[in-house]
Amino acid sequence: MDLVATSVFVGLFLFVTWVGFVAARWRKADLNVLHEWGLGGRRFGTVVTWFLLGGDLYTAYTFIAVPALVYGVGALGFFAVPYTILIYPILYLVFPKLWRIAHAKGHVTAADFVEDRFENKHLALAIACTGLFATMPYIALQLVGMEVVIGALGFQTEGWLGHMPLIIAFLILAAFTYTSGLRAPALIAIVKDMLIFVTVIAAIVIIPAKLGGYGAIFAAVPPEKLILPKPEPGSLGQYSAYATLALGSALALFLYPHCMTGILSSSSGGVIRRNAGLLSAYSFVLGLIALLGYMAIAAGVGDNPDYAFGFETYGPNFAVPALFLDSFSSWFVGVAFAAIAIGALVPAAIMSIACANLYTRNLHKAYLRPNCSDAEEARVAKIVSLVVKVGAVLFILLLPQEYAIQLQLLGGIWIIQLLPAILLGLYTSVFGARAIMAGWAVGMTAGTLMAASQGFGSSIYPLTVFGFEIPAYAALYSVILNFAVAGLWTLVSPAKPAAKTVST
């Protein structure tokens, strides 16, 4: 164990814990009301929303997994860069309108909007459950990112005793989330992003200098990892996989409950539009983070016996921690690892709050306690946020990590099935609840079967059309089916006039 790195890591962790509890008094309000606890009172301006959405979108697992993918398979891992560029036009065009409706009608979740728009609480239940099931493994993956850096510090991560640092971290997370609600991750996100930016700037300057410059780095990378391989005759190969991963991921991202929570917590539609422009700065940073995968190859960390145990335990996910251990002094390793670990706390907190909002509004209030008070709503949400975190920790402790990865893969396929309900619900009154429900059911089933056909080991489904293979992101194929079924159902059985027209 590196005591210097560990001391810096623990010190920064304790600092953000203090920030999390102090957040309860920031923009003080009655946190026994759900929209204050779970949406920060819908009062976050441009700067706070920028940090909050940045913390939402660029997580610890992003910092670990994107370079790991580049390290392992090469150029395909860079799909994350165009993907994060494509999401911002969607954010600019669609979500200010959703915010206006939600603000006017008191909606806390996307399922609230769907229930109000289609006048069908069963469709809202399907939307809420989809969000819950898609988000739970996502929270677990934040723990994977945190566990990697805890292991890299020298802590034993095997067995219950080895998991104690992770358990303690999430007990702290549970405590300040319960106390402060969305205000806690909003403030902590500012600290997290400052640390991430410092770490990335240091990495892109110091590591290339040690390795002989970027020319030497790219020269050390095997040629087959620098570009996508040329497709075989009769197939689009990785070309279509790359393009559809970027497009499908962009369409799905802001449908996740935690991203929706970040959007609905904004103080105005103008805040969302401004952030659609400003958040593109993170895409530039993500491109630099992805390059860490190539730097790890050039540094030869995979062949270094000092890191053999880490790679045996975590696979390519250990590439970035090994690179930092190899390149930085102990104190800065502590800073970098703290940035990654805090990068797990922020989205995990927002995700658990988003799940709590969904359960409280669209299951508890809709089916169990229709007349519950505002105070009961907030109390139930706080308790559910704790349950969600415990479930995520048990997920990691009791099941192999690949299960979390496989379920998160399914999460992207599932969450995109909300797109017709949100998009069509916002812009047209032609589609009814039954058409949307039928499309959702077909999309969910088809997407899951596509992933199952690949042994849940890949989200790329090789569709063959007239003997020509088109490998593509299963989420995109399945949501196309979703839209098609909703359209055909509407042609055969048009929506009743009672379906609401959404005002702008």
Residue 499 has pLDDT above 50, yes or no: no
Residue 444 has pLDDT above 50, yes or no: yes
User: Coil, strand, or helix at residue 501?
Assistant: coil
pLDDT confidence band for 159 (50 / 70 / 90): low
- What pLDDT digit, counting tens, does each position of 273-307 carry? 999 998 888 888 888 899 999 999 999 998 989 88
Query: How many Å from the N-terminal Cα to the C-terminal Cα in the chain?
Result: 58
Mean local confidence (pLDDT), 38-62: 86
pTM of the model: 0.90
User: Coil, strand, or helix at residue 106?
Assistant: coil
CA distances to 136, 155, 306, 494 from 1, in Å: 32, 7, 13, 66
Mean local confidence (pLDDT), 200-217: 93
pLDDT confidence band for 243 (50 / 70 / 90): very high
Tokens linked to 125: 């239940």
Mean local confidence (pLDDT), 304-323: 88
Tokens linked to 304: 């270094």
Q: What is the model's pLDDT at position 462?
A: 93
CATH topology for 3-232+250-492 is Sodium/glucose cotransporter (1.20.1730)
What is the rounded (10 degree) CA torsion for 479, 485, 486, 488? 140
Q: What is the model's pLDDT at position 498?
A: 47
CA distances to 126, 204, 400 from 186, in Å: 29, 27, 31
Mean local confidence (pLDDT), 411-428: 93
Locate the domains of the chain by residue range: 3-232+250-492
Average pLDDT, the chain: 88
Mean local confidence (pLDDT), 128-140: 88
Residue 167 has pLDDT above 50, yes or no: yes
